[in-house]
Amino acid sequence: MSNIDTRAAFPTNDKETVSAHFGHCKYFAVYNISEGKVIETEYLDAPKHAPGVLPKYLADHNVNVIIAGGMGAMAKDLFSQNSIEVIMGADGRLEDNLNTYLGGELYSKGTVCDHNHNDDDHNCDH
């Protein structure tokens, strides 16, 4: 098996599209990338949302990039502390975002939430 350069994770509820809020997703689609190509895809069941849990969980699964719609500043800092690069502003189909990332054209839009998400049905405009 090839050496893995990157393990990139996307939050998703349906295994097809990026979930707007990574902290309330059902799964993480994790792509093992070697030399710019996906060599394996896996889906991790997301643990229950609690402050600080997801960065450690993904770090424990050797993820080194999280690509999400948005997140709070504290979450972004916790990912950084766990040596996980954060790219925010993704939306739509996982495959489209992954291909843009692999093409070197997906850049963080700096979409940081600055309000509480106490309601699971909450939608914020990212």
Q: Is the pLDDT assigned to residue 117 strictly greater than 70?
A: no
Residue span of the structural domain in which 69 resides: 6-110
Does 105 fall in a domain? Answer: yes
pTM of the predicted protein model:
0.84
Identify the helix (H) or strand (E) that includes residue 32. Answer: strand 27-34
Does 81 fall in a domain? Answer: yes
Query: For the chain, how many structural domains are there in total?
Result: 1
Does 115 fall in a domain? Answer: no
Does 22 fall in a domain? Answer: yes
Does 76 fall in a domain? Answer: yes
Does 62 fall in a domain? Answer: yes
CB burial of 27-55 (b: ≥16 within 10 Å; e: otherwise) equals bbbbbbbeeeeeeeeeeeebeeeeeeebb
Q: What is the mean pLDDT of residues 98-115?
A: 75
DSSP state of 16: S
CATH number of the domain encompassing residue 64: 3.30.420.130
Q: Is the pLDDT assigned to residue 120 strictly greater than 50?
A: no
Does 124 fall in a domain? Answer: no
